Protein backbone atom coordinates (compact mmCIF):
# COMPACT_ATOMS: atom_id res chain seq x y z
CA UNK A 1 0.00 0.00 0.00
CA UNK A 2 1.10 3.55 -0.44
CA UNK A 3 1.36 6.30 2.12
CA UNK A 4 -0.83 9.25 1.05
CA UNK A 5 0.91 12.54 0.47
CA UNK A 6 -0.55 15.40 2.58
CA UNK A 7 -2.62 17.64 0.37
CA UNK A 8 -3.14 21.28 1.20
CA UNK A 9 -6.59 21.08 -0.33
CA UNK A 10 -7.61 18.51 2.25
CA UNK A 11 -6.21 19.71 5.56
CA UNK A 12 -8.64 17.83 7.75
CA UNK A 13 -7.93 14.44 6.22
CA UNK A 14 -4.18 15.10 6.22
CA UNK A 15 -4.23 15.94 9.92
CA UNK A 16 -6.24 12.85 10.71
CA UNK A 17 -4.00 10.71 8.57
CA UNK A 18 -0.90 12.05 10.32
CA UNK A 19 -2.26 11.23 13.77
CA UNK A 20 -3.04 7.67 12.72
CA UNK A 21 0.26 7.14 10.90
CA UNK A 22 2.36 8.32 13.84
CA UNK A 23 0.93 5.49 15.91
CA UNK A 24 2.56 2.92 13.63
CA UNK A 25 5.43 1.04 15.25
CA UNK A 26 8.85 1.56 13.66
CA UNK A 27 10.45 -1.31 11.79
CA UNK A 28 14.08 -2.02 12.50
CA UNK A 29 16.53 -0.77 9.91
CA UNK A 30 16.99 -3.65 7.47
CA UNK A 31 19.51 -1.94 5.17
CA UNK A 32 22.17 -4.32 3.78
CA UNK A 33 20.05 -7.35 4.72
CA UNK A 34 19.89 -10.06 2.05
CA UNK A 35 16.47 -11.59 1.40
CA UNK A 36 16.83 -14.41 -1.09
CA UNK A 37 18.16 -12.91 -4.32
CA UNK A 38 17.75 -9.33 -3.08
CA UNK A 39 20.09 -7.08 -1.10
CA UNK A 40 18.32 -4.19 0.64
CA UNK A 41 20.15 -0.90 0.04
CA UNK A 42 18.14 1.79 1.81
CA UNK A 43 14.64 2.52 3.04
CA UNK A 44 12.76 4.76 0.64
CA UNK A 45 9.21 4.69 1.92
CA UNK A 46 6.79 3.59 4.60
CA UNK A 47 3.12 2.74 4.58
CA UNK A 48 0.43 1.20 6.70
CA UNK A 49 1.25 -2.34 5.60
CA UNK A 50 4.86 -2.31 4.53
CA UNK A 51 8.25 -0.67 4.56
CA UNK A 52 9.75 -0.13 1.12
CA UNK A 53 13.43 -0.51 0.34
CA UNK A 54 15.49 0.17 -2.73
CA UNK A 55 17.26 -3.13 -3.34
CA UNK A 56 19.54 -4.84 -5.81
CA UNK A 57 18.57 -8.10 -7.42
CA UNK A 58 21.87 -9.92 -7.09
CA UNK A 59 21.52 -12.31 -10.02
CA UNK A 60 20.42 -9.71 -12.58
CA UNK A 61 22.27 -6.70 -11.13
CA UNK A 62 19.24 -4.45 -11.35
CA UNK A 63 17.43 -2.15 -8.96
CA UNK A 64 14.11 -3.33 -7.58
CA UNK A 65 11.71 -2.18 -4.88
CA UNK A 66 11.25 -4.55 -1.94
CA UNK A 67 8.15 -4.24 0.22
CA UNK A 68 8.70 -5.80 3.64
CA UNK A 69 5.37 -6.52 5.31
CA UNK A 70 4.99 -5.12 8.80
CA UNK A 71 5.13 -7.84 11.42
CA UNK A 72 2.04 -6.51 13.20
CA UNK A 73 0.03 -7.12 10.01
CA UNK A 74 0.79 -10.83 10.40
CA UNK A 75 0.21 -11.19 14.14
CA UNK A 76 -2.78 -13.38 14.82
CA UNK A 77 -3.10 -14.26 11.13
CA UNK A 78 -3.79 -17.90 10.42
CA UNK A 79 -2.14 -19.97 7.71
CA UNK A 80 -5.24 -19.70 5.52
CA UNK A 81 -4.93 -15.90 5.36
CA UNK A 82 -1.23 -16.03 4.51
CA UNK A 83 -1.82 -18.70 1.89
CA UNK A 84 -4.60 -16.63 0.33
CA UNK A 85 -2.31 -13.61 0.26
CA UNK A 86 0.51 -15.62 -1.33
CA UNK A 87 -1.83 -16.98 -3.99
CA UNK A 88 -3.07 -13.52 -4.89
CA UNK A 89 0.45 -12.08 -4.91
CA UNK A 90 1.53 -14.89 -7.23
CA UNK A 91 -1.41 -14.11 -9.47
CA UNK A 92 -0.36 -10.46 -9.50
CA UNK A 93 3.14 -11.57 -10.47
CA UNK A 94 1.71 -13.11 -13.64
CA UNK A 95 0.36 -9.74 -14.78
CA UNK A 96 2.46 -8.40 -17.61
CA UNK A 97 1.11 -5.03 -18.69
CA UNK A 98 2.80 -1.80 -19.56
CA UNK A 99 0.78 0.13 -16.99
CA UNK A 100 1.12 -2.28 -14.05
CA UNK A 101 4.09 -2.35 -11.69
CA UNK A 102 5.60 -5.77 -12.31
CA UNK A 103 5.80 -8.11 -9.33
CA UNK A 104 8.99 -10.15 -9.63
CA UNK A 105 8.82 -12.43 -6.60
CA UNK A 106 7.37 -12.99 -3.15
CA UNK A 107 9.20 -14.73 -0.36
CA UNK A 108 9.83 -15.27 3.32
CA UNK A 109 13.20 -15.24 5.07
CA UNK A 110 13.56 -15.74 8.82
CA UNK A 111 9.96 -14.68 9.40
CA UNK A 112 10.24 -11.61 7.15
CA UNK A 113 7.62 -11.65 4.38
CA UNK A 114 8.47 -9.54 1.35
CA UNK A 115 7.46 -8.69 -2.20
CA UNK A 116 9.99 -7.78 -4.90
CA UNK A 117 8.66 -5.56 -7.65
CA UNK A 118 9.62 -3.20 -10.43
CA UNK A 119 11.36 -0.02 -9.24
CA UNK A 120 9.60 3.07 -10.61
CA UNK A 121 11.37 6.41 -10.62
CA UNK A 122 8.89 9.29 -10.69
CA UNK A 123 6.00 10.55 -8.56
CA UNK A 124 2.57 9.28 -7.68
CA UNK A 125 -0.66 10.91 -8.82
CA UNK A 126 -1.32 12.41 -5.39
CA UNK A 127 2.04 14.19 -5.47
CA UNK A 128 1.37 15.31 -9.04
CA UNK A 129 -1.94 16.90 -8.04
CA UNK A 130 -0.41 18.49 -4.94
CA UNK A 131 2.45 20.05 -6.90
CA UNK A 132 0.79 20.98 -10.18
CA UNK A 133 -2.93 21.03 -9.52
CA UNK A 134 -5.53 19.56 -11.90
CA UNK A 135 -4.06 18.91 -15.36
CA UNK A 136 -5.53 19.78 -18.75
CA UNK A 137 -8.33 17.60 -20.06
CA UNK A 138 -5.99 16.06 -22.65
CA UNK A 139 -3.43 15.07 -20.01
CA UNK A 140 -6.13 13.77 -17.67
CA UNK A 141 -7.57 11.59 -20.43
CA UNK A 142 -4.13 10.23 -21.27
CA UNK A 143 -3.64 9.18 -17.65
CA UNK A 144 -7.16 7.79 -17.28
CA UNK A 145 -6.88 5.60 -20.39
CA UNK A 146 -3.71 4.01 -19.06
CA UNK A 147 -5.21 3.25 -15.64
CA UNK A 148 -8.32 1.79 -17.27
CA UNK A 149 -6.09 -0.49 -19.33
CA UNK A 150 -4.29 -1.69 -16.21
CA UNK A 151 -7.56 -2.41 -14.37
CA UNK A 152 -8.94 -4.32 -17.35
CA UNK A 153 -5.78 -6.42 -17.71
CA UNK A 154 -5.96 -7.38 -14.04
CA UNK A 155 -9.68 -8.09 -14.27
CA UNK A 156 -9.13 -10.46 -17.20
CA UNK A 157 -6.66 -12.33 -14.97
CA UNK A 158 -9.30 -12.54 -12.23
CA UNK A 159 -7.62 -9.96 -9.97
CA UNK A 160 -9.41 -7.11 -8.17
CA UNK A 161 -7.06 -4.41 -6.89
CA UNK A 162 -9.22 -3.26 -3.93
CA UNK A 163 -7.13 -0.14 -3.27
CA UNK A 164 -7.14 2.06 -6.38
CA UNK A 165 -6.21 5.57 -5.25
CA UNK A 166 -3.86 8.36 -6.41
CA UNK A 167 -1.04 7.11 -4.17
CA UNK A 168 -1.07 3.77 -5.99
CA UNK A 169 -1.00 5.38 -9.44
CA UNK A 170 2.64 6.07 -10.25
CA UNK A 171 3.84 8.38 -13.03
CA UNK A 172 7.16 8.05 -14.81
CA UNK A 173 9.03 11.09 -16.08
CA UNK A 174 7.63 10.43 -19.56
CA UNK A 175 4.04 10.52 -18.32
CA UNK A 176 3.53 6.78 -18.37
CA UNK A 177 1.25 5.31 -15.70
CA UNK A 178 2.19 2.37 -13.50
CA UNK A 179 -0.50 1.06 -11.14
CA UNK A 180 1.06 -0.43 -8.01
CA UNK A 181 0.06 -2.94 -5.32
CA UNK A 182 -2.13 -5.40 -7.21
CA UNK A 183 -2.75 -8.23 -4.77
CA UNK A 184 -1.34 -6.49 -1.69
CA UNK A 185 -4.70 -5.26 -0.41
CA UNK A 186 -5.87 -8.87 -0.11
CA UNK A 187 -3.93 -9.21 3.14
CA UNK A 188 -6.31 -6.96 5.08
CA UNK A 189 -9.42 -7.06 2.91
CA UNK A 190 -9.95 -10.77 2.27
CA UNK A 191 -13.72 -10.90 2.21
CA UNK A 192 -14.22 -9.41 5.66
CA UNK A 193 -15.84 -6.13 6.58
CA UNK A 194 -13.13 -3.47 6.58
CA UNK A 195 -11.99 -2.38 10.04
CA UNK A 196 -11.77 1.39 9.68
CA UNK A 197 -10.11 1.83 13.08
CA UNK A 198 -7.25 -0.65 12.65
CA UNK A 199 -3.60 0.34 12.97
CA UNK A 200 -2.20 1.27 9.59
CA UNK A 201 -5.57 2.35 8.19
CA UNK A 202 -4.83 5.85 6.89
CA UNK A 203 -7.34 8.27 5.47
CA UNK A 204 -6.07 7.43 1.99
CA UNK A 205 -8.02 4.21 1.69
CA UNK A 206 -11.57 5.20 2.85
CA UNK A 207 -11.39 8.34 0.70
CA UNK A 208 -11.66 6.11 -2.36
CA UNK A 209 -13.53 2.99 -1.12
CA UNK A 210 -16.54 1.66 -2.97
CA UNK A 211 -19.81 1.32 -1.00
CA UNK A 212 -19.76 -2.48 -1.32
CA UNK A 213 -16.19 -2.52 -0.02
CA UNK A 214 -17.19 -0.55 3.06
CA UNK A 215 -20.01 -3.04 3.66
CA UNK A 216 -17.71 -6.04 3.30
CA UNK A 217 -19.61 -7.41 0.30
CA UNK A 218 -18.01 -9.47 -2.50
CA UNK A 219 -15.96 -7.33 -4.87
CA UNK A 220 -15.40 -7.40 -8.60
CA UNK A 221 -13.89 -5.03 -11.15
CA UNK A 222 -16.76 -2.58 -10.65
CA UNK A 223 -15.40 -1.80 -7.18
CA UNK A 224 -12.08 -0.81 -8.74
CA UNK A 225 -13.95 1.30 -11.30
CA UNK A 226 -15.70 3.17 -8.47
CA UNK A 227 -12.41 3.85 -6.68
CA UNK A 228 -10.86 4.93 -9.97
CA UNK A 229 -13.80 7.29 -10.56
CA UNK A 230 -13.24 8.90 -7.15
CA UNK A 231 -9.54 9.23 -8.01
CA UNK A 232 -10.48 10.90 -11.32
CA UNK A 233 -12.75 13.31 -9.43
CA UNK A 234 -9.76 14.14 -7.21
CA UNK A 235 -7.54 14.56 -10.27
CA UNK A 236 -9.86 17.05 -11.95
CA UNK A 237 -10.93 19.05 -8.87
CA UNK A 238 -7.79 18.87 -6.73
CA UNK A 239 -9.56 17.13 -3.84
CA UNK A 240 -11.57 13.95 -3.13
CA UNK A 241 -15.37 14.23 -3.25
CA UNK A 242 -15.91 13.27 0.40
CA UNK A 243 -14.25 14.55 3.57
CA UNK A 244 -14.62 13.80 7.26
CA UNK A 245 -12.90 13.91 10.62
CA UNK A 246 -12.52 10.14 10.81
CA UNK A 247 -12.12 7.25 8.42
CA UNK A 248 -15.54 5.97 9.48
CA UNK A 249 -17.29 9.27 8.70
CA UNK A 250 -15.79 9.33 5.21
CA UNK A 251 -16.79 5.73 4.57
CA UNK A 252 -20.38 6.44 5.61
CA UNK A 253 -20.55 9.25 3.04
CA UNK A 254 -19.61 6.80 0.30
CA UNK A 255 -22.65 4.78 1.35
CA UNK A 256 -25.21 7.54 1.83
CA UNK A 257 -24.19 10.82 0.18
CA UNK A 258 -23.77 12.01 -3.38
CA UNK A 259 -20.73 13.99 -4.41
CA UNK A 260 -21.07 17.57 -5.61
CA UNK A 261 -21.59 17.15 -9.37
CA UNK A 262 -18.32 17.43 -11.23
CA UNK A 263 -19.98 19.64 -13.84
CA UNK A 264 -20.84 22.12 -11.08
CA UNK A 265 -17.34 22.13 -9.60
CA UNK A 266 -15.66 22.27 -13.03
CA UNK A 267 -18.15 23.76 -15.53
CA UNK A 268 -15.30 24.12 -18.04
CA UNK A 269 -14.96 20.35 -18.43
CA UNK A 270 -16.62 18.54 -21.35
CA UNK A 271 -20.06 17.35 -20.31
CA UNK A 272 -19.32 13.84 -21.52
CA UNK A 273 -16.24 13.51 -19.29
CA UNK A 274 -18.29 14.51 -16.24
CA UNK A 275 -20.92 11.93 -17.21
CA UNK A 276 -18.29 9.20 -17.55
CA UNK A 277 -16.93 9.87 -14.06
CA UNK A 278 -20.42 10.10 -12.58
CA UNK A 279 -21.19 6.68 -14.04
CA UNK A 280 -17.98 5.29 -12.54
CA UNK A 281 -19.05 6.64 -9.13
CA UNK A 282 -22.60 5.24 -9.09
CA UNK A 283 -23.47 3.81 -5.67
CA UNK A 284 -24.96 0.65 -7.17
CA UNK A 285 -22.42 -1.54 -9.01
CA UNK A 286 -25.01 -2.47 -11.65
CA UNK A 287 -25.21 1.18 -12.76
CA UNK A 288 -21.46 1.51 -13.31
CA UNK A 289 -19.43 0.32 -16.26
CA UNK A 290 -19.57 -3.47 -16.30
CA UNK A 291 -15.86 -3.66 -17.10
CA UNK A 292 -12.89 -1.38 -17.66
CA UNK A 293 -12.81 -2.18 -21.38
CA UNK A 294 -16.08 -0.33 -21.96
CA UNK A 295 -14.73 2.55 -19.88
CA UNK A 296 -11.51 2.53 -21.90
CA UNK A 297 -13.43 2.75 -25.18
CA UNK A 298 -15.47 5.75 -24.00
CA UNK A 299 -12.36 7.55 -22.74
CA UNK A 300 -10.52 6.93 -26.01
CA UNK A 301 -13.48 8.24 -28.00
CA UNK A 302 -13.45 11.48 -26.02
CA UNK A 303 -9.66 11.79 -26.29
CA UNK A 304 -9.72 11.18 -30.04
CA UNK A 305 -12.49 13.72 -30.59
CA UNK A 306 -10.69 16.27 -28.41
CA UNK A 307 -7.55 15.92 -30.51
CA UNK A 308 -9.06 15.80 -34.00
CA UNK A 309 -12.29 17.78 -33.63
CA UNK A 310 -12.03 19.78 -30.39
CA UNK A 311 -15.09 21.88 -31.24
CA UNK A 312 -17.27 18.77 -31.29
CA UNK A 313 -16.35 17.60 -27.77
CA UNK A 314 -18.94 19.91 -26.24
CA UNK A 315 -21.65 18.17 -28.27
CA UNK A 316 -20.74 14.69 -27.07
CA UNK A 317 -22.87 12.86 -24.54
CA UNK A 318 -22.30 9.57 -22.77
CA UNK A 319 -25.41 8.06 -24.35
CA UNK A 320 -24.16 8.92 -27.82
CA UNK A 321 -20.59 7.61 -27.49
CA UNK A 322 -21.58 4.49 -25.53
CA UNK A 323 -24.02 3.55 -28.29
CA UNK A 324 -21.35 4.05 -30.96
CA UNK A 325 -18.89 1.90 -28.98
CA UNK A 326 -21.26 -1.04 -28.59
CA UNK A 327 -20.11 -4.04 -30.66
CA UNK A 328 -22.51 -5.23 -33.31
CA UNK A 329 -24.51 -8.27 -32.33
CA UNK A 330 -23.44 -11.51 -33.94
CA UNK A 331 -25.89 -13.78 -35.74
CA UNK A 332 -25.84 -16.03 -32.70
CA UNK A 333 -26.87 -13.13 -30.47
CA UNK A 334 -29.56 -11.94 -32.85
CA UNK A 335 -30.95 -15.42 -33.34
CA UNK A 336 -31.61 -17.02 -36.73
CA UNK A 337 -35.19 -18.04 -37.31
CA UNK A 338 -34.24 -20.56 -40.06
CA UNK A 339 -31.83 -22.36 -37.76
CA UNK A 340 -34.40 -22.32 -34.99
CA UNK A 341 -36.98 -23.92 -37.31
CA UNK A 342 -34.48 -26.63 -38.34
CA UNK A 343 -34.59 -28.15 -34.87
CA UNK A 344 -38.37 -28.52 -35.05
CA UNK A 345 -38.39 -30.58 -38.27
CA UNK A 346 -39.76 -34.14 -38.03
CA UNK A 347 -37.49 -37.22 -38.33
CA UNK A 348 -38.33 -37.93 -41.99
CA UNK A 349 -37.46 -34.42 -43.06
CA UNK A 350 -34.14 -34.56 -41.16
CA UNK A 351 -33.28 -37.89 -42.87
CA UNK A 352 -33.97 -36.50 -46.35
CA UNK A 353 -31.88 -33.43 -45.60
CA UNK A 354 -28.82 -35.46 -44.55
CA UNK A 355 -29.10 -37.83 -47.56
CA UNK A 356 -29.16 -34.86 -49.92
CA UNK A 357 -25.97 -33.35 -48.50
CA UNK A 358 -24.10 -36.60 -47.73
CA UNK A 359 -23.15 -37.56 -51.33
CA UNK A 360 -21.71 -34.15 -52.35
CA UNK A 361 -19.87 -33.94 -49.04
CA UNK A 362 -18.21 -37.33 -49.60
CA UNK A 363 -16.85 -36.19 -52.96
CA UNK A 364 -15.77 -32.87 -51.53
CA UNK A 365 -13.95 -34.60 -48.66
CA UNK A 366 -11.99 -36.80 -51.07
CA UNK A 367 -10.99 -33.80 -53.17
CA UNK A 368 -9.99 -31.81 -50.10
CA UNK A 369 -7.95 -34.74 -48.80
CA UNK A 370 -5.95 -34.82 -52.05
CA UNK A 371 -5.15 -31.13 -51.98
CA UNK A 372 -4.43 -31.07 -48.25
CA UNK A 373 -2.12 -34.09 -48.29
CA UNK A 374 1.34 -33.42 -46.74
CA UNK A 375 3.70 -31.79 -49.21
CA UNK A 376 7.24 -32.85 -49.87
CA UNK A 377 9.18 -30.43 -47.63
CA UNK A 378 11.86 -30.04 -50.31
CA UNK A 379 9.25 -28.88 -52.82
CA UNK A 380 7.52 -26.42 -50.49
CA UNK A 381 8.26 -22.75 -51.04
CA UNK A 382 8.28 -20.90 -47.70
CA UNK A 383 5.64 -18.20 -47.55
CA UNK A 384 6.32 -14.78 -46.08
CA UNK A 385 4.47 -14.39 -42.78
CA UNK A 386 1.64 -11.91 -43.11
CA UNK A 387 0.52 -9.58 -40.38
CA UNK A 388 -2.80 -10.62 -38.88
CA UNK A 389 -3.41 -7.19 -37.32
CA UNK A 390 -5.88 -4.99 -39.20
CA UNK A 391 -4.67 -1.73 -40.68
CA UNK A 392 -6.14 1.38 -39.05
CA UNK A 393 -6.62 4.82 -40.56
CA UNK A 394 -3.61 6.64 -39.12
CA UNK A 395 -0.18 5.70 -37.73
CA UNK A 396 -1.26 7.22 -34.41
CA UNK A 397 -4.31 4.94 -34.22
CA UNK A 398 -2.15 1.95 -35.14
CA UNK A 399 0.38 2.85 -32.43
CA UNK A 400 -2.29 3.40 -29.77
CA UNK A 401 -3.79 0.04 -30.68
CA UNK A 402 -0.38 -1.60 -30.22
CA UNK A 403 0.03 0.17 -26.88
CA UNK A 404 -3.27 -1.29 -25.76
CA UNK A 405 -2.13 -4.80 -26.72
CA UNK A 406 1.25 -4.13 -25.04
CA UNK A 407 3.30 -7.28 -25.69
CA UNK A 408 1.84 -8.26 -29.05
CA UNK A 409 4.72 -8.44 -31.52
CA UNK A 410 2.44 -8.33 -34.56
CA UNK A 411 0.72 -5.19 -33.28
CA UNK A 412 4.03 -3.30 -33.11
CA UNK A 413 5.11 -4.68 -36.50
CA UNK A 414 1.82 -3.47 -37.98
CA UNK A 415 2.83 0.14 -37.26
CA UNK A 416 6.10 -0.40 -39.14
CA UNK A 417 4.64 -2.36 -42.06
CA UNK A 418 1.53 -0.29 -42.68
CA UNK A 419 3.16 3.13 -42.24
CA UNK A 420 6.76 2.75 -43.47
CA UNK A 421 7.17 6.48 -44.21
CA UNK A 422 5.97 7.72 -40.83
CA UNK A 423 8.69 9.57 -38.92
CA UNK A 424 7.04 9.70 -35.48
CA UNK A 425 5.25 6.48 -34.60
CA UNK A 426 7.32 4.08 -36.70
CA UNK A 427 10.54 4.73 -34.68
CA UNK A 428 8.58 4.39 -31.45
CA UNK A 429 7.21 1.03 -32.58
CA UNK A 430 10.72 -0.12 -33.53
CA UNK A 431 11.92 0.89 -30.05
CA UNK A 432 9.10 -1.04 -28.37
CA UNK A 433 9.93 -4.12 -30.43
CA UNK A 434 13.58 -3.84 -29.39
CA UNK A 435 12.62 -3.78 -25.71
CA UNK A 436 10.15 -6.64 -26.22
CA UNK A 437 12.85 -8.77 -27.86
CA UNK A 438 15.33 -8.03 -25.05
CA UNK A 439 12.76 -9.19 -22.50
CA UNK A 440 12.28 -12.38 -24.50
CA UNK A 441 16.06 -12.83 -24.90
CA UNK A 442 15.78 -12.63 -28.69
CA UNK A 443 18.94 -10.58 -28.88
CA UNK A 444 19.53 -10.90 -32.64
CA UNK A 445 16.03 -9.60 -33.37
CA UNK A 446 16.52 -6.81 -30.82
CA UNK A 447 19.82 -5.84 -32.44
CA UNK A 448 18.10 -5.54 -35.82
CA UNK A 449 15.58 -3.11 -34.31
CA UNK A 450 18.21 -0.93 -32.68
CA UNK A 451 20.28 -0.84 -35.86
CA UNK A 452 17.20 0.47 -37.66
CA UNK A 453 16.73 3.13 -34.98
CA UNK A 454 20.35 4.19 -35.28
CA UNK A 455 19.87 4.84 -38.99
CA UNK A 456 17.11 7.37 -38.28
CA UNK A 457 18.52 10.57 -39.75
CA UNK A 458 15.94 13.07 -38.49
CA UNK A 459 15.68 12.30 -34.77
CA UNK A 460 18.86 12.36 -32.65
CA UNK A 461 16.98 10.69 -29.80
CA UNK A 462 16.18 7.67 -31.97
CA UNK A 463 19.83 7.44 -33.00
CA UNK A 464 20.92 7.54 -29.35
CA UNK A 465 18.43 4.81 -28.48
CA UNK A 466 19.79 2.68 -31.31
CA UNK A 467 23.35 3.06 -30.03
CA UNK A 468 22.27 2.39 -26.44
CA UNK A 469 20.40 -0.73 -27.52
CA UNK A 470 23.46 -2.09 -29.31
CA UNK A 471 25.55 -1.54 -26.17
CA UNK A 472 23.00 -3.34 -23.99
CA UNK A 473 22.77 -6.33 -26.33
CA UNK A 474 26.56 -6.66 -26.65
CA UNK A 475 26.82 -6.84 -22.86
CA UNK A 476 23.96 -9.35 -22.60
CA UNK A 477 25.84 -11.49 -25.14
CA UNK A 478 28.92 -11.28 -22.88
CA UNK A 479 30.89 -9.06 -25.27
CA UNK A 480 31.58 -6.54 -22.51
CA UNK A 481 34.55 -4.85 -24.21
CA UNK A 482 32.55 -4.07 -27.34
CA UNK A 483 29.62 -2.93 -25.20
CA UNK A 484 31.83 -0.54 -23.25
CA UNK A 485 33.45 0.77 -26.42
CA UNK A 486 30.02 1.59 -27.88
CA UNK A 487 29.05 3.47 -24.71
CA UNK A 488 32.26 5.49 -24.46
CA UNK A 489 32.97 6.24 -28.12
CA UNK A 490 29.45 6.48 -29.57
CA UNK A 491 26.87 7.16 -26.85
CA UNK A 492 28.81 9.40 -24.48
CA UNK A 493 29.59 12.05 -27.18
CA UNK A 494 25.83 12.60 -27.60
CA UNK A 495 25.47 13.53 -23.92
CA UNK A 496 25.99 17.23 -24.64
CA UNK A 497 23.01 17.26 -27.01
CA UNK A 498 20.56 15.07 -25.09
CA UNK A 499 19.24 14.52 -21.60
CA UNK A 500 20.12 10.84 -21.46
CA UNK A 501 17.98 10.05 -18.43
CA UNK A 502 14.86 11.45 -20.10
CA UNK A 503 15.52 10.82 -23.78
CA UNK A 504 16.49 7.16 -23.47
CA UNK A 505 13.27 6.44 -21.58
CA UNK A 506 12.87 4.69 -18.26
CA UNK A 507 13.20 1.09 -19.43
CA UNK A 508 16.06 1.47 -21.92
CA UNK A 509 17.82 3.86 -19.52
CA UNK A 510 17.57 1.23 -16.80
CA UNK A 511 19.05 -1.36 -19.16
CA UNK A 512 21.96 0.97 -19.93
CA UNK A 513 22.62 1.59 -16.22
CA UNK A 514 22.63 -2.16 -15.60
CA UNK A 515 24.95 -2.63 -18.59
CA UNK A 516 27.50 -0.16 -17.22
CA UNK A 517 27.46 -1.88 -13.82
CA UNK A 518 27.78 -5.30 -15.45
CA UNK A 519 30.67 -4.17 -17.65
CA UNK A 520 32.43 -2.60 -14.67
CA UNK A 521 32.12 -5.82 -12.68
CA UNK A 522 33.62 -7.90 -15.51
CA UNK A 523 36.23 -5.49 -16.87
CA UNK A 524 37.22 -3.73 -13.65
CA UNK A 525 39.72 -0.94 -14.27
CA UNK A 526 39.28 -1.23 -18.02
CA UNK A 527 35.96 0.60 -17.70
CA UNK A 528 36.53 4.28 -18.25
CA UNK A 529 34.98 6.52 -15.64
CA UNK A 530 33.31 8.60 -18.33
CA UNK A 531 30.74 5.90 -18.96
CA UNK A 532 29.68 6.00 -15.32
CA UNK A 533 28.92 9.71 -15.75
CA UNK A 534 26.56 9.13 -18.65
CA UNK A 535 23.51 10.09 -16.59
CA UNK A 536 25.24 12.65 -14.36
CA UNK A 537 24.17 16.31 -14.50
CA UNK A 538 20.90 15.30 -16.11
CA UNK A 539 17.76 16.31 -14.26
CA UNK A 540 17.49 13.89 -11.35
CA UNK A 541 14.18 12.01 -11.07
CA UNK A 542 12.22 11.75 -7.86
CA UNK A 543 12.46 8.34 -6.20
CA UNK A 544 9.04 6.90 -5.65
CA UNK A 545 7.84 3.38 -5.12
CA UNK A 546 4.16 3.82 -4.52
CA UNK A 547 4.49 4.26 -0.75
List active site positions: 163
Comparing CA positions, the residue from 412, 409, 411, 415 lying closest to residue 395 is 415
Separation CA 507–CA 78 (nearest Å)? 39
Rounded to 10 deg, the angle between the 292-308 and 271-280 helix axes is 170
Comparing CA positions, the residue from 160, 197, 200 lying closest to residue 181 is 160
Partners of residue 52 on adjacent β-strands? 45, 67
Residue 99 near residue 150, CB atoms below 8 Å? yes
DSSP code for 207? G
Separation CA 58–CA 396 (nearest Å)? 40
What sign for the dihedral angle of Cα 23, 24, 28, 29? negative
> What does the angle CA 540 – CA 142 – CA 175 come to, to the nearest 5 degrees?
10
Rounded to 10 deg, the angle between the 425-439 and 409-418 helix axes is 150
User: DSSP string of 300-330?
Assistant: HHHHHHHHH-GGGGGG--HHHHHHHTSPPPP
Long-range contacts of residues 453-459, Cβ cutoff 8 Å, at least 24 apart = 453/427, 456/427, 458/423, 459/423, 459/427
> What does the angle CA 331 – CA 333 – CA 336 come to, to the nearest 5 degrees?
50
Separation CA 416–CA 428 (nearest Å)? 9
DSSP code for 175? S
Comparing CA positions, the residue from 184, 4, 169 lying closest to residue 99 is 169
Separation CA 280–CA 277 (nearest Å)? 5
Range 271-290 burial, b when 16+ CB lie within 10 A, else e: bbbbbbbbbbbbeebeebbe
Amino acid sequence: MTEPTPNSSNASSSKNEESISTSLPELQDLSNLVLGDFRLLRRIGSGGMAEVFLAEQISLKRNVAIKVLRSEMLKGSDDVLLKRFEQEAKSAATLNHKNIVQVYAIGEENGIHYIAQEYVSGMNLSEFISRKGPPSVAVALKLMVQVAGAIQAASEAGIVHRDIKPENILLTRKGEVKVADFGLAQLTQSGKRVNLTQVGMTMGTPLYMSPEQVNGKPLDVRSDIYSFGVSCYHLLTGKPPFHGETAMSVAVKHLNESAVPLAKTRPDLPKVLCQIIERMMEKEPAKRYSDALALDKDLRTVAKTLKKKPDEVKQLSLTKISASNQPEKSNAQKGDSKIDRFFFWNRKRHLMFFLIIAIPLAGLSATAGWFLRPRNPFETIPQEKTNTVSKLKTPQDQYLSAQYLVNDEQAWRAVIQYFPEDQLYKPRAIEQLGILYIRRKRFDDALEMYQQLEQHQIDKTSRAKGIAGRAVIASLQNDHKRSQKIIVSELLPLKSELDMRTDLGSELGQYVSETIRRNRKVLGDEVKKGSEDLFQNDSKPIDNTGM
